Structure 1
Amino acid sequence: MNHYQFEQPIREQHQVKYTTTKWVNRIGIPIIIVGAILIGLLQIKSPEPADLNAQPDSFSSARAMEKLQMIAKEPHPIETPEHDKVRDYLISELEGLGLSPEVQKTFVTNEWRGHKFSGNIENIITRIPGTDNSKAVMIAGHYDSVPTSPGAADDGAAIAAMLETVRTLQVSGPLKNDVILLMSDGEEAGLLGAKAFTDEHPWAKDVGLVLNFEARGNKGESFMFETSEQNGWIVKEFLKAAPQPLAYSLLYNIYKLMPNDTDLTIFREGGLAGLNFAFGSGLDAYHQPIDTPENLDQASLQHHGEYMLSLTQHFGNLDLTQVEQEDRVYFNVIGWNVISYPESLATWFMILGVLLFAITVWHGIRRGHIHLKGMTGGFLITLLNLGIIYGVVTLLWNGLKAIVSEDEYISLLLDPQISLYYLLGLLILTVTTSFLLIRFLSRYIRTKNLWMGSLFLWLILCIVTTLYLTGGSYLFTWPLIFSLIGMNVSFLNREGSLTWISAVFATVGFILLTPMIRLVNDMMTLDLAGILMTVSGLAFTLIYPVFCRRN
């Protein structure tokens, strides 16, 4: 056998092995990435609606819907005959439940966001005595609607849930603390009812904790999206009690920066501690004639009600005289499982990320895998990639906005099905842009230098958010730490395993970022397409080795 005949089988074996590895990578790595994205999306889910035959001591959205049919027949803004009909119906229902509601009638003026609002309001207030009251738990929602909408979701769902919750509390037995029900009036007219209660009603000083319920759409999951300051104790107890908690401290941090308010804004300014809940999908129904009971997602109502009942029962048996504690970082990870820790720990996790980054750079240079010049190039390429994504998407979106009518554009933004198709199209464009650019530029830079340069951007974001947006720091800290671990693992393994390592350790980033992208799309719409796709592009920087040529 000559030398060529001896080497031919070896070459064939290597070729088969290379082909097999290539196809395993092509199939396995996308499965890992898509699986992580799906896990992130599966965090966001509502409980199943309960029917009329549900246990008497449990919340039933079907029973609450019977009340909602009466509440949201017609639009009922303040100072209208339809408003008075709803007021009288609610008083009758509360009396039928054995309570003694009172109506707080007053003329209110409220300075809100630089504007003056005023009107005659009629808050409906009642109290369920506890056996050993420390301070009261107050359940709050507003029963007025805007003139253009029957207000089934905003905020009839909360009012109907309150009636069903009271019925359930009477079945399950008394609590230690008093329970105050505030069906506030004039929220849509400028938070007038909340202002009147906080400033004028004697029960305001008795409140230890407010549970406020809202809606900005007619479907979707109910989120705990806002807390009062010094929320540490409240958040810990919320997570103990809520059967299906959905809560992200990033949302709370972002909400504080937005020009949006609910009744809880007034309660907080009045010194009351509280939690705020809302569902926000189905924006096409918000303040529109189609916000009817028939169009309301019963799973959203069920989620509202389960929060309301479980938290009232839990906090109703706790000492509420001192509820302030250091703010916490909190976020869902898999399903309804929530991770929570004090904000002071976020600083230590940031320091861990900085130290691990420095160790990784030292480790990579020592083993000859990376060098500072190449890492700098990787960082600049990452910025270039994200800049191109933002520019291309913004240009295309502005072009689309220019060629369609205003009504078509609003429909595109607010209709969930239409906007979903556009969102998927933009995501495909983002992935394709990243892939082609990185594939091309990886000819000139080593893969690990490129990857390490992108992680330097994550380090910057980790530091900035920890210092200035602490509730959102988890979104950058944990993907950074896990990818740095993956980088160090790659230094110890052969080059061919780099794509697998980057994909596996990037799953944390995809799990955390995916729900945020979906939620921002639901609540803020694709009017923020450029920013949304840039954040999506940031997620894909964690798997740059998958996009690169082998080098």
Structure 2
Amino acid sequence: MRRGLAAGFAVVLAALVTVSLMGISPPAPVPASAAPTAFSAERAMAHLAAISSRPHPIGSQEHTDVREYLLGQLRSLGVEPTVQRATTNRQTNFGEVRNVHARIAGRASTGTVLLVAHYDSTPKGPGAADGGAGVAAILEAARALLSGPRPRNDVDILFTDGKEAGQLGAQAFTAANLLDPRRTVVLNFDAKGTSGPSTLVETGRASSWLLPSLSEVDRPLAWSFTAPLRRIAPEESDFAVFRRANFPGLSFAITEDTARNHTGADTLAAVSPGSVQDHGDKALSLAKSLGDKDFAEYRRGASTYFTALGALLSYPNWLVVPLAVLAAVLFVAVVWVAARRRGARLGAIGLAASTFVLPVVVTNALAHLAWLLLKRIKPDYAHIGTGTTYHPELYQAGLLVLSLVLTVVWYLRVRRWWSTEEVVLGVWAWLTVLSSVCAFLVTGAAYVTTLPLIFGCVAVLAAFRWGGNDPFWSRMAFAAASLPAAVVMVPLVDFTSRGLAFAGPPLVAAGVLAATALPLLDLLRPRRPTLLPIGAAVLAVALVVAGSVLDRVDHDNPRQTSLIYAMEADVGKAFWISYDPDPLPWTARHVGGTEDAELAVLAEDATPGSLLSYKGGRASLAAVEAPRVTVLRSYRDNGQDAAVLRLQVLSGGAQRVSVYAETAEHTILDATVQDVRMGKLTRSLLSRDPWNWGFSFIGVPADGIEVELRVRGSGQLPLRLVGHRYGLPSVPELRPMPEDVVFSARPGNLTVVSRTQRMDLAPR
């Protein structure tokens, strides 16, 4: 009877884990035959096909073509778009951007719902998912919205420019003060992968006010631990710019199949229509819901939130610390009662807590070793800059089983020395510490350990109160913490968005989740308990081997490479540069490991401050023009010990130009670029001296840019000019790229041309 109860408990736990995992998936795509007021992924994919046939980075003709398509589609919907043309900067990155902005006027507006996606791509791929999927979803959502009754509030559409160049378009839009943050909600749609659900990854300052609308959405996948994690390991998005400008809002992203992100493999064929459907369902539903809200009732306030069995649950953040305190108090109470009723020893609990570190550390070490071995066995994996593979699912399953194996082995070992209560309380001690630390430092993540701990402690205290001294009920109660843990920790265990190279935190979560259920081993009493970890270890190895066999590179899952052409115009020398650890044959024929001082200079020009190792080889000279600068005016301020240089910088056909000044004998006091003030720069841009001042400008106009420098010093000021062109030049040794090879997320598909000029400063 009791063994049957324990088995039933295990079945329920397994069902919770399974349902939680299955819930992290996108919906089925809706066909074009759906009602006009419904969002259809098939209709959205037609837009995606039109805008993602080729790379369209800022400043390219393809980029202009995409913008014209968007303007035409918005006009066909009956709204009149405008193009915000602006020069803006984020620190030392400048650019000329063209944001596309349109408004669906509300019936009696009290505020604005702003739908945002970026329409530029990287130069290495067509950006079908990043960020074409968001653009296509918003276009189709706008069509569906206009097919029904107009919402009360304005619904604005913003396709930002220059996101891949440093969120320049979002910066320009917020700087222009076109919308009031107190009467605007931003809904941002982006991607770092090509498949998976549209997940809420970040919120603004009013999540408490917005979450009820999100709860009405089908599949409201949202976990508040994602936002602080993105800020610990920064993943800059347009939404981050809006958030810093005090706009409330929600940011969604497609986060699976990350091996294609920022590569030539981010194509239309790779994008999951279900992911686009999920993006669009959320955009349309939230536009309707928030579009009918009274923005006069807008209130700031942050909440902790998470999706549990398909429902979005939340509570205000002011409860986080009290709940953590409650969890700690309950834990102390359980320890005290366990000591009195079950003879639990504080020393044993402490030793159990300290030894629990071992399976966590060993799991992470083995995961790291497995990734290193996989890269040795399949060198193509090392070329993928995101630290994962095209199909990592079997690898991930194997690592998760490995985490379970090591946790069970640890438990079987320590149970020889300490009681079930002592071992589990050692694990719960870590939950208590994590709950308290997160409550103060990572508020949005505190619920992951706080809620299972509170639930488990209450269950144990109830068992001690009404179960008498029967160890069966206390052990069942200790295992009860695994039920909420299965709901709140499974999203942490799913590490498809982080890749195999970043498997550590998910494996820790998996180990903790498994540890909360360990008392079931004592209740189920398997006849040969050692067979469980042995069988699981065999399964883990089988999954990894199967992953290695099935996860192949081919035309649909191409090899990835990095290749840059860099030329020093002053001396007439050129090199090929690759950041591949072990270049593919197509790449290797250009780079042979040249160690040349001039190569080091050009590698620094190509990717300033990069810590990536590179290989190089001599290249033929290409017929490409270098940037140049002319002096428009040179004078000295009256009574000031500073020379003023007014310069015109011509890119020579490059889409991006960088200007560096030698500061060994001069100091740049101030600067303006296209009349945008830069100010004094004290931090080095390049890793080599003396070029310690500079800026980059992307989207250079045909007539160049004007720069004004205030310089302390005399004589000539050396300037180094670096032009970045999209694509590789036509030189004899360059052969067409094989069909099964694309450019990776590492620097590549660029032609970099550098020159140095000396500017005469006005005499004192």
1:378 to 318, 333, 352: 352
Runs of 4+ in structure 1 displaced over 6 angstroms?
Answer: none
Report the Cα distance in structure 2 between the residues aligned to 1:102 and 1:402, rounded to whole angstroms.
49
Q: Tell me what 2:139 maps to.
A: 163
Shift of residue 533 of structure 1? Answer: 2.0
Pick one of 363, 366, 369 that aligns with 2:337: 363
Q: 2:512 aligns with which of 538, 544, 548?
A: 538
* 2:406 maps to 1:426: no
Label 1:266 to 1:53 Cα distance change in 2 as closer, same or farther (>3 A): same
Mapped contact 2:359–2:403 kept (Cα < 8 A): no
The question of 1:339 aligning with 2:298 is answered no
8 A Cα contact 2:6 2:520, kept in partner: no
Which residue of the partner structure matches residue 152 of structure 1? 128
Classify the secondary structure of the residue corresponding to 2:304: strand
When you count strand as a share of all residues, which structure comes out higher? 2
Among 278, 295, 298, the residue aligned to 2:273: 298
Report the CA distance shift for 1:498/1:89 in structure 2 as closer, same or farther (over 3 A). Answer: same
**The residue matched to 2:497 in structure 1 has which SS?**
helix
Corresponding letter in the other structure for 1:540:
A
AA partner of residue 433 (structure 1): L
Change (3 A) 1:169 1:150: same
How far is the alpha carbon of 1:247 from its aligned partner? 0.8
- What is the Cα deviation at residue 500 of structure 1? 4.4
- Alpha-carbon distance in structure 2 between the residues aligned to 1:388 and 1:106: 53
1:269-284 maps to which residues of 2 (within 5 A)? Answer: 269-284=244-259
| 1:217 CA displacement | 0.8
Secondary structure, counterpart of 1:213 in structure 2: strand
Q: Which amino acid aligns with 1:136?
A: T
Which ranges in structure 2 are unaligned for 5 or more consecutive residues? 526-764
Q: TM-score by structure 2 length?
A: 0.64
Match for residue 10 of structure 1? none
Post-superposition offset of 1:497: 5.3
Whether 2:444 is the aligned partner of 1:444: answer no
Judged with a 3 Å threshold, the aligned counterparts in structure 2 of structure 1 residues 172 and 422 are, in CA distance, closer, same or farther, namely same
CA contact (8 A) 1:331 1:338 kept: yes
Hey, what does 1:83 align to over in structure 2? 63
SS at match of 2:503: helix
1:125 to 101, 105, 113: 101
Give the letter for the 2:86 counterpart.
Answer: T
> Does the 8 Å contact 1:483/1:542 carry over to 2?
no
What code does the residue aligned with 1:435 have? V
Q: Which residue of 1 aligns with 2:53?
A: 73
State the SS of the aligned residue for 2:225: helix
Aligned residues of 1:226 and 1:276 also touching (Cα < 8 A): yes
| CA–CA distance in structure 1, aligned partners of residues 220 and 109 of structure 2 | 27
| In 1, Cα distance between equivalents of 2:137 and 2:372 | 44
Residue 427 of structure 1: how far off its partner (Å)? 2.0
1:182-197 matched pairs, under 5 angstroms = 182-197=158-173
Alignment of 1:212-361 (within 5 A): 212-239=188-215, 241-321=216-296, 323-335=298-310, 337-361=311-335
TM-score (norm 1): 0.88
How has the CA–CA distance of structure 1 residues 74 and 416 changed in structure 2, closer, same or farther, with 3 Å as cutoff?
closer
Distance 1:222 1:132, change over 3 A: same
Cα deviation code 1:6-40 (max 9, x no counterpart): xxxxxxxxxxxxxx976x58965653442232122
CA offsets 1:104-163 (integer angstroms, 9 cap, x no match): 22333222xxxx222222211111221212222111111111111111111111111222
Q: Structure 1 pair 315/270, CA: closer, same or farther in 2 (3 Å)?
A: same
Task: Determine the structure 1 residue equivalent to 2:373.
Answer: 400
Structure 2 distance, partners of 1:162, 1:385, is: 46
Instruction: Report the CA distance between 1:409 and its aligned residue.
Output: 3.5
Which shows bigger deviation, 81-90 or 194-203?
194-203
Name the SS for the 1:267 alignment partner: helix
For residue 414 of structure 1, report the CA deviation from its aligned partner.
3.0
Match of 1:56 among 12, 36, 58: 36
Compared CA separation, residues 80 and 350, structure 1 to 2 (3 A): same
Q: Which has the higher helix share?
A: 1
Structure having the higher Rg? 2
> Which amino acid is 1:464 matched to?
V
Aligned equivalents of 1:401, 1:55: Cα separation in 2: 48
Q: Deviations over 1:419-463 (max 9, x none)?
A: 222222222222222222221221111121111222122111111
In the aligned structure 1, how far is the partner of 2:314 from the partner of 2:515?
26
Task: Determine which of 446, 453, 475 is the counterpart of 1:473.
Answer: 446
Unaligned runs of at least 5 residues, structure 1: 1-19
Moved more, 367-376 or 121-130: 367-376
* RMSD of Structure 2 on Structure 1 (CA): 2.5
How far apart, CA to CA, are the structure 2 residues paired with 1:131 and 1:192? 32
Which of 429, 435, 440 lines up with 2:408 in the alignment? 435
* CA deviation string 1:179-229 (max 9, x = no partner): 221111111112111122122263467851111110111110001111112
Deviation at 1:478, TM superposition (A): 1.1
